[in-house]
Chain A
Amino acid sequence: MAANESALLFDQPGPRMLRRIKIINWVAAIVFVAIAVLIIMRLHNPPDGENQLSWELWKPALDGEAWADFYLPGLWATLRATCLAVIGAVVFGLLFGVGRLIPNAVVRGVCGVVIEFCRAVPVLIMMIFFWRWFAFMDLPSPAYWAVVISLVLYNGSVVAELVRSGVGNLPNGQHEAAVALGLTRTQSLLSVEVPQAIYAMMPAAVTQLVVVLKDTALGSIIMYTDLLQESRRLGSMYFNILQTLVVAGVVYFILCWLLSRLAEWLPVRMQQRTMAPAEPEPVAPIAILDPSNVNQIAVAREERPLGGSQRLYHVHHRGTNASIHNWRRTRYTQGYDETQPQSQIARDGHQHHHKGRNGRTRPDPDMQ
């Protein structure tokens, strides 16, 4: 990965450059180590206050009692909220994501408004509101449900967008083939397009899992006794809150890191089951309000015929399902192909098939 990025900007170094790189490498390494040592020295011997590295403070943050009474119950609360929120988010996301695609304009509109609303409101604002509101409504454990529901609403809306961009990124041939077999638009959507979109969105959904896990830590602000809150509590017993927070941070990091690795490993598995590209991008893949999100990195990596000349064939996996439905209006959309101009023609219902065929100005490249 890194080699590819470096190769873009940096040519293969020669012997002199190699030597220079080596020297800079060592200088940089020494600078980084020096900074780390300075910070540790500062913690060891602060201007006033206590030595933060002393075993007296670390021991109660690490011993068995701390794990049994604080970290593990806290971790359990965190995982419980995460699991429930993930299940809820997937259900919510599938419902509203599909709702945003089905032919009925009213349902589509309502789902669109709900999704955009949930995506725009900060999770903390939702949590505080639900927490207080549930408490006023006399519901049991309001903090827990506030955490779960806020995370369901936000991450569910993200999953809904993943469903939509998964469907949009399918080659339109999938939809056309389904319609040709006599399925209705809704049937094609539900039994052909959405199932493939689900496989395609899997890696991005696992990346979203990391977000859920991280965001449960917001629950500590509304007094939900998650890992962060429990570590604070432990810290208030021996006044070693910094140490207990470090331990909690390490636990969060390990869990999130493992999930991130899973997200990197999944695409290989999922690509076999879908026609849409299943590769995750390094950041959350969806631009807000952008229905078809073509993975530009995958596009850049693609082998080109004749080493980079103009593509001759229709690029079938780049969001044609979205562009043919006229989800994006500009000519500069990904998936536009001048050899296949019909892929941009607007359609109402099924009209585009005729229009497309009649409006074709060039001979089909396959026929040449």
Chain B
Amino acid sequence: MEGFISLFQQYNVPAAFLVNLELTFWSALFSAILGIVLVLMRISPIASMRHVAGGYVEFFKNMPLTIIMVFMVLGAFAQLKLSFSDNFETNFFWLAVVGLSLYTAAFVCESLRSGINTVPLGQAEAARAMGLNFMQSATLIIMPQALRGSVAPLGNTLIALLKNSTVAAAASVATETSSLMSEMIEFRPDVIIQIFLIFAFGYVILIIPIGLLTTFLSNKLAVRR
């Protein structure tokens, strides 16, 4: 027990978790926007957009996040000169956000697409038969049902994103949890198990509520068919 207290006094664990939460927040926001754009491209009747969005999703679904993160620093930053700030710490933070967003957007797109797929074709046909135009049928009939269907996969994606934010270590973000854990183990190897438990339970505490909330929402919002 004293081990835990001295660890908390010596290292700022909550600050590291805050970095991960910030990474998750911004990546969730940007990947949601990009994911919506992608899914719109993917279901549009325009072939070139459909193929590009399909290729994007296929690429990021089959590429390790670690490689993407390394490329954000050595490719996007070093070669393409994608830079957000002269301050390295801020710059790497935002590069990691971009990497996580690009990666997660593919999964957001797939979640939304699976949500759209839960709407039976009959719903669209009925809407058209009643004389609703494109906007009306999309906003009144299809999308409300599709969003309800994608709550569960989107929740999964959010949980995966929070866990993946630790991989930001590969994009030189040195203040997040996995880097702090390495550092703590380096200097306090005697209490290695306590250190692990601190971080593991930190994530359990963060993730279980998200899981409960998505399950609750997806049950509550589910369209009974």
Query: Which residues of A are interface residues toward B (Cβ below 8 A)?
Result: 2, 4-11, 13, 21, 24-26, 28-29, 32, 39, 42-43, 46-47, 49, 52, 116-117, 119-126, 128-129, 132-133, 136, 210, 214-218, 220-221, 228, 241-242, 245, 248-249, 252-253, 256-257, 260, 281-284, 286-290, 293, 296-297, 299-302, 304, 307-308, 328, 330, 332-334, 336
B196, A129: Cβ atoms closer than 8 Å: yes
| Docked complex Cα distance between A333 and B224 (Å) | 8
Instruction: Tell me whether A25 and B62 are in contact in the complex, defined as CB-CB below 8 angstroms, given that A5-B113, A136-B192 are known contacts.
Output: no
Interface of B is mostly: helix
The 9 A-B pairs with the shortest beta carbon distances in the complex, nearest first, are: A288-B211, A217-B64, A256-B62, A296-B118, A287-B152, A29-B48, A122-B163, A129-B196, A120-B207
Instruction: Tell me whether A39 and B80 are in contact in the complex, defined as CB-CB below 8 angstroms, given that A221-B66, A253-B63 are known contacts.
Output: yes
| Docked complex Cα distance between A117 and B197 (Å) | 11
Residues of chain B within 8 A (CB-CB) of A119 are 207
| Docked complex Cα distance between A254 and B93 (Å) | 30
Write the chain A residue with the least CB distance to B170.
A221
CB distance from B74 to the nearest CB of A (A): 6
| Docked complex Cα distance between A126 and B196 (Å) | 8
| Docked complex Cα distance between A307 and B126 (Å) | 11
Residues of chain B within 8 A (CB-CB) of A7 are 121, 124
Which residues 187-225 of B sit at the A interface, judged by CB distance below 8 A?
189, 192-193, 195-196, 199-200, 203-204, 207-208, 210-212, 214-215, 218-220, 222, 224-225
- B2-10, B26-34, B39-47: which one contacts chain A? B39-47
A252, B110: Cβ atoms closer than 8 Å: no
Encode B147-171 as 1/0 by CB contact (under 8 A) with A: 0010011011101100110110110
Interface of A is mostly: helix
| Docked complex Cα distance between A300 and B50 (Å) | 22
Does B120 sit at the interface, judged by CB under 8 A? yes
A4, B67: Cβ atoms closer than 8 Å: no
Q: Which of the residues A25, A42, A116, A283 comes within 8 Å of B156, measured between beta carbons?
A: A283
B142, A8: Cβ atoms closer than 8 Å: yes
Question: Could you say which interface size class chain B belongs to?
Answer: 35 or more
| Docked complex Cα distance between A293 and B152 (Å) | 9
Instruction: Tell me whether A289 and B222 are in contact in the complex, defined as CB-CB below 8 angstroms, given that A120-B204, A217-B67, A253-B63 are known contacts.
Output: no
Residues of chain B within 8 A (CB-CB) of A215 are 64
Q: Which of the residues B50, B75, B149, B166 comes within 8 Å of A242, measured between beta carbons?
A: B75
Residues of chain A within 8 A (CB-CB) of B118 are 296-297, 299-300
